[in-house]
Amino acid sequence: MSTDHGVGDGVGGARVTRVDEDVTAVPAVSAGVPGVPAASSTSTAARLQALFEGHRLTPTQRRIAHCMVRRAADAPFLSSVELAELAGVSQPSVTRFAVALGFDGYPALRKHLRDVAPAEPEADAGSYNEYQQAVQSEIDNLRHLAALLADPAPVVRAGRLLADSRPLPVLGLRAASAQARGFSYFARKVHPDVRLLDEGGTMLDDRVDAAKRAGATALLCFALPRHPREVVEGLEYAREAGLTVVTVADSAFAPVARHSDLLLPAAVGTGLAFDTACAPMLLGRVLLEAMCDALPDAQARLEEFDAKASERGLFVE
């Protein structure tokens, strides 16, 4: 029903990484798997290990297998995009991994895992109505985001890039306009010059040019499905103008990826008529925090704003 859904299980348009030709069998995994709960996920991990044993897999494929064992409870319910992001590989690598195990593709592998998984999780999920399922899906998206943020380096780097850009253009069109507007609203409290770009077409090119002439070095983009052609073209133009593009997108395989210098993925929910974007919104707030950490006068600016707000009676206490 949704017209704004994200990337599915296909491999079209995804970036391909080189696979090492040397192949070795999957090593045995000890009974204690880090990060896997000891209850039903342990039996799922054992089933996964039994499935992988006996197959000669490439190093990239072994990395996927190890990721699935570590995330045994979630493995039967991950999309190929989600699994690729968690394992740090390309989406086509996940498809080739499934074929190497003897399946027609990743959907067939996931169906097999669901068929052999313990019944309890599916019974619980079946007790939810469609609205609860949408909430549960967003909770899963937030869990995946938390796992990605275990390595804070990309966000820290992005925060520095945004803090150093004067002015800082923030782009968001159509479905992503709310994310860009929310980020800009708060960023203006600590950054001296934030410019919201919420118009496409030739106007967008003009405003990118104006920001570059004023001294901008980076551009932050929020890109959500369905991805407008104007966003892709705008990012291409911004990079040609010499701006470093930082993008928050629904997937590392989104169409904007090839036009981004630093892409931070946060999945959207697709269970309702219109996509939900809790994870991208939270990632935007995390970026704000990282930018504040990189701005030496951020705290002073916040305190100044609070003092003026109190004087003017801006807020009802």
Digit-coded pLDDT (tens) for 9-41: 333 333 333 333 333 333 333 333 333 343 444
DSSP 8-state assignment for residue 268 = P
pLDDT of residue 197 exceeding 60, the answer is yes
Does residue 202 sit in the same domain as residue 99? no
Domain carrying residue 199: 153-312
User: Quick check: is 145 in a domain?
Assistant: no
Q: Is 120 helix (H, G, I), strand (E, B) or coil?
A: helix
Tell me if residue 136 falls in helix, strand or coil. helix
CATH number of the domain where residue 109 is located: 1.10.10.10
Whether 114 and 73 map to the same domain: the answer is yes
Residue 18 lies in a domain: no
Q: Indicate whether 143 belongs to any domain.
A: no
Same domain for 279 and 220? yes
Q: According to the model, what pLDDT value does residue 116 have? A: 77
Counting beta carbons within 10 angstroms of the beta carbon of residue 142, is it exposed (0 to 12), middle (13 to 18) or buried (19 or more)?
middle
Structure tokens at 74: 């979630």
Give the contacts of 87 (CB within 8 A, at least 6 positions apart). Answer: 63, 64, 66, 67, 68, 94
199 or 4, greater pLDDT: 199
Distance CA 142, CA 123 (A): 22
Predicted pLDDT at 118:
54
Which of 66, 92, 127 is a domain's end point? 127
Give tens-digit pLDDT for 120-164.
444 455 578 889 988 998 998 999 999 999 999 999 999 999 999
Does position 3 have pLDDT exceeding 70, yes or no?
A: no
Q: Are residues 184 and 297 in the same domain?
A: yes
**Whether residues 226 and 296 fall in one domain:** yes
Mean pLDDT taken over the chain? 83
Report the amino acid identity of residue 231. V
Position 23 scores a pLDDT of 39
Asked, for residue 287, whether it belongs to a domain, the answer is yes
Burial of 188 per CB tally in 10 Å (0-12, 13-18, 19+): middle
Work out the average pLDDT over 175-181.
97
Q: Give the domain-ending residue among 110, 127, 144.
A: 127
Percent of the chain with pLDDT over 90: 57
The whole-number pLDDT of residue 66 equals: 77
* 92 and 237 housed in the same domain: no
CA distance 188 to 171: 14
Question: Residue 229 is part of a domain; what is its CATH number?
Answer: 3.40.50.10490
Q: How many domains does the chain have?
A: 2
